[in-house]
Amino acid sequence: MLLLIQDACFDRHITPAGHPERPARTAAIRAALSAAALPDRRVRAEVPRAATPEELMRVHAPEYVARLREFCAAGGGMLDADTHAVPESFEVASRASGAAVQAAEYLLSGAGRTAFCAVRPPGHHAGRAYAMGFCLFNHAAVAAAHLRARDPEARVLIVDWDLHHGNGTQDIFFADPNVFYFSMHRFPFWPGTGSATETGTGAGVGATLNVPLEAGASRDRIREAFAAGLKTIADRFQPTWLVISSGFDMHRTDPLGGLSLESEDYATMTWALGEQYMNRGARGVVSVLEGGYALEGLAQSVVAHVKALMDLDLK
């Protein structure tokens, strides 16, 4: 049974007029998933709870968590040129990370093998001690760290298919040999990181794989690059758990994009990930929403991805 975590609380993170990362994103996803009429017997719905300080501080510096809490409590404002917070933002971002932990716990319990968290603000640009690129807390990283904390033998593969490189996630796990970070993204492009030469440091050398994509890359090129990346990883890393940073801004209609995927391509990539790993020992997958700013393309891509996750849950 797929775990689906979504809630109107994520609409309370308000951004300035015209900002692409807006409450309408999660509202559109909720409406599309409702219209898709997913069978009740195959979906377990939960509302998100806030992450605990301990859960957040596995990946974020205590002083950063305290500073962000104080910033929001004081009224919020601009954290950088792109990243905005309002008084409610600390709680909303904490619930987004808490949803990722709930999903990890669901997998650990054995109740199901797949989970999708329809949360915002996104997270993969947030580093240990900084907010960036619309992101306050790094939900995928929090989920991976929770899996490692609860299952000390865990080997976690984070797959990031957002248009933008997840620099925060890479930074957090760059020296960790037990968390493999695989990102497929447009390059060169914002935030400027994610070249193929970035492969890890120290004990983590070889546990980062970046697959840069040129602007205008075709659907076939993107799907082939993804499949090749999965094969490369399989030769060097056998994960017990999967975490997906699910950005949907490679969709051809995305205003920040310049790439060409259709909604059904996200189902294809989901099935490919399951075929490569969930049929070969991986115990489950937590998928967490990242980017995606064309509302219809985002919503339909999420529906395709969620339906594919439901199929994987049955394998």
Give me the mean pLDDT over the 163-169 stretch. Answer: 98
Q: Is the pTM of this model over 0.75?
A: yes
Give me the mean pLDDT over the 161-185 stretch. Answer: 98
Distance of CA 7 to the CA centre of its chain: 17
Considering the chain, what is the average pLDDT of its residues? 97
Q: Is 55 left (phi over 0), alpha (psi -120 to 50) or beta?
A: alpha
What pLDDT score was predicted for residue 280?
A: 83
- What whole-number percentage of the chain has pLDDT above 90? 97
Dist CA 126 CA 68 (whole Å): 12
Dist CA 195 CA 213 (whole Å): 10
The model's confidence at residue 315, banded by pLDDT at 50, 70 and 90, is low
CA-wise closest residue to 301 among 257, 269, 274, 255? 269
Cite the beta strand spans of the chain per DSSP E: 2-5, 43-46, 77-78, 84-85, 114-117, 156-160, 179-186, 208-213, 241-246, 285-289
Dist CA 170 CA 262 (whole Å): 27
What pLDDT score was predicted for residue 142?
A: 99
pLDDT at residue 47 tops 80: yes
CA-wise closest residue to 185 among 215, 161, 221, 168? 161
| Tokens 């904490």 belong to residue | 94
Give me the mean pLDDT over the 91-103 stretch. Answer: 98
Using a 10 angstrom Cβ sphere, with 0-12 exposed, 13-18 middle and 19 or more buried, the burial of residue 192 is: exposed
CA-wise closest residue to 2 among 25, 27, 26, 36? 36
Give me the mean pLDDT over the 82-105 stretch. Answer: 98
- What whole-number percentage of the chain has pLDDT above 70? 100
Q: Spell out the domains of the chain, with CATH numbers in brackets.
A: 2-313 (3.40.800.20)
- Annotated catalytic sites, by residue? 125
